[in-house]
Structure 1
Amino acid sequence: MSGGYDLNLFASPPDCKFLCSVCHGVLKRPTRLSCSHIFCKKCILKWLARQNTCPCCRKEVQRKNMVYVNKLRRTIGHLEVKCKNAEAGCLVTCPLAHSKRHQDSCPFELVACPNEGCYARVFRSALAEHQQRCQQGGQQHCPLGCGATLGMAELAHYNCYLKLRNAWSEQQKRSQTMLQGLLQRVRKVHRASRLLRRQLAQLSHLLGDDAACPEGSAGAQSQGALEIEG
């Protein structure tokens, strides 16, 4: 990526003395080496990261001897530049040093709609009109009658049928989970009742045997008494 200013940005071709011999753009933050050659700060730092010599004369570079040429920077700042929105229709030219100030107020600058959820980008000059037409600031009811209150951005992709179907699926899953839990409880109760019936049957059988024994003993004693009397 170039470290200097794009030549197409300028209202007229800049003098060659303002050009960086590394990126061939107009010098940005001009930096002079001890050999007197001047480059963009970004360009020379990238160059020195690979080799420690001047790109022009190949003399060894001592970084501590690098200096910023502020006078040249101010001179370049007075060069006339076109607005970066020239292709969109802006005809303003201004000194490079003031281009940021113009950009912040340029009517052809694309700006985002401030309404939450609206992702439109419009010219700054048309923003007020867009905000009047933009319905995202207000709310509308779903036209399909589900009762949801939505903004325009949501309304464009809202599908209440899909939401209802997803809600129904979730409810079905919850119902299945509850049903499985109830079935497990019913099985436990059924097993417990069968065990209880078996225990009651055994208890009843035991109680029946105990009741029959005394009657048998009394009968045997009566029979023995009759035999003695006879």
Structure 2
Amino acid sequence: MRWALSICRTPGSPKPEADAARAAGSGGYDLSLFARPPDSNFLCSVCHGVLKRPVRLPCHHIFCKKCILRWLARQKTCPCCRKEVKRKKMVHVNKLRRTIGRLEVKCKNAEAGCLVTCPLAHRKGHQDSCPFELMACPNEGCTEQVPRGVLTEHRQQCLHGIQQRCPLGCGATLGPAERARHNCYRQLREAWGQRQEHSRTLVLCLLQRLRKLHRTTNLIHRQLAQLGDFLEDDTLLMSTRQEEAEATPENSIEAEVWGGQSQSGV
């Protein structure tokens, strides 16, 4: 393979700088991911993992992009040949990247029981549908993580399940625990009984007020009748007095005349 001479091989014990780079975190793929041991030409000489986003330096040595950037942040030389390196001179080796992408890898959930292997480039796609992938329960308040394959069952039994309206149409909003003991017919009967009692109380109160209003109205009618009788009697009395007052002058004149005549005759 034509990359064999381009990938650095460090004879003897690793350089201290390489050990420091590996300690800072691997930039390549872990060898345990692959279904079969990958070719040594695909290994990064800095992290000793399979090349991830490989880049080639002007000296033709190839490294993981992350590994070489970390290296160059401390010193500006190639980890293998010690030639001076300028960052802008790095070149992405896309053909090598595609070749590595076709290597067969195990599912990241292999230890959990997934037996699927797929090309490295398709690993993310499989992970998005793997039934062994741990998923967070979507119910608010639940912190459990369960395999995707049993997530539906877990959601049905989860005590923090999403609240739903009663399927019988009573209008109540219930969580899983409440749905298990919900009896909307009994609750509706109780609610109806409470409403009937409340309505009965309101009707009785209204009747009491109507009786009181009726008694008050009758009292007003009687008082008005008495007032009318009083006014009528008073009118008659005033009329009688007026008549007497009008009749009194004539009687006085007649009395005077008769009185004078009597005196003359004597």
TM range (shorter): 0.5 to 0.7
Structure 2 residue aligned with 1:117 = 141
Structure 1 residue aligned with 2:107 = 83
Which secondary structure state, in structure 2, belongs to the residue aligned with residue 12 of structure 1?
A: coil
User: Gaps (5+ residues) in structure 1?
Assistant: 140-148, 154-230
The percentage of aligned residue pairs carrying the same residue is 79
Structure 1 residue aligned with 2:81 = 57
Q: Distance in 2 between matches of 1:138 and 1:62?
A: 56
Displacement of 1:135 in angstroms is 2.5
Q: Distance in 2 between matches of 1:119 and 1:62?
A: 48
Structure 1 residue aligned with 2:27 = 3
Q: Structure 1 residue 99 and structure 2 residue 123: aligned?
A: yes
Displacement of 1:28 in angstroms is 0.4
Q: Distance in 2 between matches of 1:8 and 1:51?
A: 30
**What pairs up with 1:144-163 in 2 under 5 angstroms?**
none
Structure 1 residues 135 and 18: CA distance shift in structure 2, 3 A: same
Displacement of 1:47 in angstroms is 0.4
Name the aligned partner's letter for residue 56 of structure 2: R
Displacement of 1:37 in angstroms is 0.2
Name the aligned partner's letter for residue 159 of structure 2: Q
Q: Distance in 2 between matches of 1:3 and 1:74?
A: 17
Q: Structure 1 residue 72 and structure 2 residue 96: aligned?
A: yes
**1:190-215 superposed Cα distances (whole Å, 9 cap, x missing partner):** xxxxxxxxxxxxxxxxxxxxxxxxxx
Q: 2:62 aligns with which of 12, 15, 38?
A: 38
Whether the 8 Å CA contact 2:105–2:117 is kept in 1: the answer is: yes
Which secondary structure state, in structure 2, belongs to the residue aligned with residue 137 of structure 1?
A: coil
Q: Distance in 2 between matches of 1:138 and 1:51?
A: 55
Moved over 4 A (4+): 149-153
Q: Distance in 1 between matches of 2:126 and 2:77?
A: 39
Structure 1 residue aligned with 2:150 = 126
Q: Distance in 1 between matches of 2:162 and 2:107?
A: 35
Q: Distance in 1 between matches of 2:93 and 2:162?
A: 55
Q: Distance in 2 between matches of 1:117 and 1:102?
A: 29
**1:35-69 superposed Cα distances (whole Å, 9 cap, x missing partner):** 00000000000000111110011111122211000
Alignment root-mean-square deviation, CA: 1.9
Which secondary structure state, in structure 2, belongs to the residue aligned with residue 39 of structure 1?
A: strand
Q: Distance in 2 between matches of 1:40 and 1:5?
A: 9
Q: Distance in 1 between matches of 2:142 and 2:88?
A: 51
Q: Distance in 2 between matches of 1:96 and 1:70?
A: 15
Whether the 8 Å CA contact 2:140–2:162 is kept in 1: the answer is: no
Displacement of 1:91 in angstroms is 0.2
Which secondary structure state, in structure 1, belongs to the residue aligned with residue 160 of structure 2?
A: helix
Aligned residues between the structures? 144
Q: Distance in 2 between matches of 1:91 and 1:60?
A: 46
**What pairs up with 1:171-182 in 2 under 5 angstroms?**
none
